[in-house]
């Protein structure tokens, strides 16, 4: 998210250094816009070092890029912390005599202010009227908190804690709640490729989109994620690779995927097997490219041997507190329903949850929408999300949370 943090001239500006750091650590692009008064408390080098972007107070710098409006236009969220009584008054009247003022007028993003001032200034009818005006315009206020102030007096006027301001601001901007914070997740995605010879393989139509969406949803909700990617298109993997809480591990074959899962699963709280793992591999992979000349007749026969069932291995080795989730892609035949098939597989696999979806020539693969039935270990239907793969992913994590709440 592109976040503009306005800083105005109050001693609480030192706390905003931590606020900026929290946002940067979360992976947001943060641009700090201090006022001239703010830099008397905390200087430009600090803001530049902590935000990793150049910082200026003036509308006359970087004019070629029309910075006085471009920051506001680009912003997904604007936070003003601390917001002094003077700044609140300027915001209420729409004054724009510095870069923060122009940015605030140019933005259509949610604006969150964290007032900080002495109690008398906060309670003054002028400030109260300004706050009422700003709230009526949709500005969100966080605090001020009640407590000790710099003059030794106490009362409402302290800037709220950076963690609280960040949480309120991200919620205002529609960012998901960090309800999976601290969860260690392993997610597999994509289809394995089982080599026949140096140029050929047996693969499947999995694009990896659903697995990547599962990984991203968890990371956006605060989990630390290891994404074990079999064959996944770079374009699909891109956003996940860039996420600060996703570590991508590559695997090609079912055996490589099994080894990677074995390596990562021990520490995990939740493991989601969204990868389409080949059930069989070629017994004797040819070192040289197979040629038609070498084939004895008009056809060739490949001898296939069974791969280990990774999910079954995970279920068998599951430790206390670990949640194991499988996926099942089914093509129900005549006279049987998707639910029948799903229930049989849920019973056979023994995973805590199984996400079952119907696939076909034109269904389930390489598309952005999905519909799944989430079953628990006894075959009960927990949820039937339908929508974007991200929506399905979020529903899956909701089910994981509920399942962990019940059983762990
Ligand atoms: N899976 C696995 N290891 C395998 C094959 C599949 O871990 N060798 C996992 C998949 O990642 C998925 C689940 O098992 O989470 C179900 O995969 P699926 O292919 O539907 O199940 P199979 O047991 O292979 O059943 P089927 O006979 O329907 O192919």
Report the separation in Å between the CA atom of 341 and the middle of ligand 1, taken as the mean of its atom positions.
13
Report the separation in Å between the CA atom of 281 and the middle of ligand 1, taken as the mean of its atom positions.
14
SS3 183: coil
Q: Under CATH, which architecture does the 184-407 domain have?
A: 3-Layer(aba) Sandwich (3.40)
Nearest protein CA to atom 23 of ligand 1, as residue: 309
Cβ of residue 57 lying under 6 Å from some atom of ligand 1? no
Query: Kind and range of the H or E element at 246?
Result: strand 246-250
Distance between terminal CA atoms of the chain? Answer: 34
Cβ of residue 275 lying under 6 Å from some atom of ligand 1? yes
Does pLDDT of 124 surpass 70?
yes
Cβ of residue 277 lying under 6 Å from some atom of ligand 1? yes
Q: Using an 8 Å Cβ cutoff, are 145 and 160 in contact?
A: yes
Identify the residue whose tokens are 């849920």. 346
SS3 327: strand
Nearest protein CA to atom 16 of ligand 1, as residue: 328
Which residues neighbour 50 within 8 Å (Cβ) at sequence distance 6 or greater?
17, 20, 21, 24, 32
Q: Which atom of ligand 1 lies nearest, measured to the CA of 311?
A: 7
Cβ of residue 336 lying under 6 Å from some atom of ligand 1? no
Q: How far is 382 from 374, CA to CA, in rounded Å?
A: 5
pLDDT at 407: 56
**Residue pLDDT, tens place only, 351-393:** 999 999 988 777 766 677 889 999 999 999 999 999 999 999 9
The strand order across the sheet containing 140-141 reads: 29-34, 2-7, 77-83, 111-115, 140-141
Does pLDDT of 120 surpass 70?
yes
Q: Which atom of ligand 1 lies nearest, measured to the CA of 279?
A: 8
Report the separation in Å between the CA atom of 328 and the middle of ligand 1, taken as the mean of its atom positions.
7
Q: What is the DSSP string of 328-360?
A: EEE---TT--HHHHHHHHHHHH--SEEEEEE-B
Long-range contacts of 397-404 (CB under 8 A, 24+ apart): 397/180, 397/214, 397/217, 397/218, 397/221, 399/353, 399/374, 400/270, 400/272, 400/323, 400/325, 400/352, 400/353, 401/179, 401/180, 403/323, 403/352, 403/353, 403/376, 404/269, 404/270, 404/323
Cβ of residue 327 lying under 6 Å from some atom of ligand 1? yes
For CATH 3.40.50.1950, the residue range(s) in the chain are 2-172
Q: Using an 8 Å Cβ cutoff, are 389 and 213 in contact?
A: yes
Sorting pLDDT into bands at 50, 70 and 90, what band is 192?
A: very high
Q: Specify the length of the chain in residues.
A: 408
Q: Is 235 exposed, middle or buried (0-12, 13-18, 19+ CB in 10 A)?
A: exposed
pLDDT at 210: 95
Q: How far is 28 from 23, CA to CA, in rounded Å?
A: 6
Nearest protein CA to atom 24 of ligand 1, as residue: 279
Report strand pairing: 184-189 vs 140-141.
Answer: unpaired
**Residue pLDDT, tens place only, 28-77:** 999 999 999 999 999 999 999 999 999 998 888 877 777 788 999 999 99
**Residue pLDDT, tens place only, 255-296:** 999 999 999 999 999 999 999 999 999 999 999 999 887 777
CATH of domain 2-172: 3.40.50.1950
For CATH 3.40.50.10300, the residue range(s) in the chain are 184-407
Does pLDDT of 12 surpass 60?
yes
Identify the residue whose tokens are 């799903």. 342
Cβ of residue 38 lying under 6 Å from some atom of ligand 1? no
Would you name the residues annotated as active-site residues? 204
């Amino acid at each position: 998210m592109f976040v503009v943090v306005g800083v105005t001239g109050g001693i609480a500006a030192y706390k905003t250094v931590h606020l900026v750091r929290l946002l940067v650590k979360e992976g947001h692009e943060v641009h700090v816009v201090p006022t001239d008064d703010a830099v008397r408390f905390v200087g430009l080098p600090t803001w530049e070092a902590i935000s990793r972007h150049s910082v200026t107070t003036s509308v006359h710098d970087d004019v070629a890029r029309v910075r006085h409006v471009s920051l506001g236009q680009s912003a997904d969220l604007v936070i003003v912390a601390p917001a002094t009584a003077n700044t609140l008054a300027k915001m209420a009247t729409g004054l724009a005599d510095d870069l923060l003022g122009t940015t605030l007028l140019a933005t259509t993003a949610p604006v969150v202010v964290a007032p900080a001032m002495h109690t008398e200034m906060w309670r003054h009818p002028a400030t109260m009227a300004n706050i009422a005006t700003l709230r009526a315009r949709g500005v969100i206020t966080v605090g001020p908190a009640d407590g000790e102030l710099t003059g030794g007096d106490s009362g409402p006027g302290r800037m709220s804690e950076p963690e609280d301001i960040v949480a309120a601001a991200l919620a205002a901007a529609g960012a998901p709640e960090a309800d999976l914070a601290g969860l260690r997740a392993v997610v597999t995605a994509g289809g394995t490729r089982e080599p026949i010879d140096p140029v050929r393989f047996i693969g499947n139509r999995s694009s990896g989109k659903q697995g990547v969406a599962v990984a991203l949803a968890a990371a956006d909700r605060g989990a630390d994620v290891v994404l074990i990617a079999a064959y996944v298109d770079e374009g699909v993997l891109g956003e996940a690779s860039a996420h600060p809480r996703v570590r991508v591990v590559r695997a090609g074959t079912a055996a490589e995927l099994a080894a990677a899962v074995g390596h990562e699963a021990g520490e995990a709280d939740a493991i989601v097997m969204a990868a389409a793992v080949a059930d069989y591999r070629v017994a004797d992979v040819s070192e040289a490219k197979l040629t038609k000349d070498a084939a004895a007749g008009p056809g060739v026969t490949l001898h296939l041997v069974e791969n280990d069932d990774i999910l079954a291995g995970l279920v068998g080795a599951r430790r206390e507190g670990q949640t194991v989730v499988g996926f099942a892609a089914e093509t129900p035949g005549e006279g049987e329903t998707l639910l029948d098939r799903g229930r049989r597989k849920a019973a056979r696999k023994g995973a805590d949850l199984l996400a079952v979806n119907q696939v076909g020539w034109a269904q389930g693969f390489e598309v952005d929408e999905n519909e799944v039935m989430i079953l628990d270990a006894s075959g009960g239907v927990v949820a039937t999300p339908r929508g974007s793969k991200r929506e399905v992913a979020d529903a899956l994590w909701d089910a994981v949370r509920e399942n962990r709440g019940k059983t762990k």
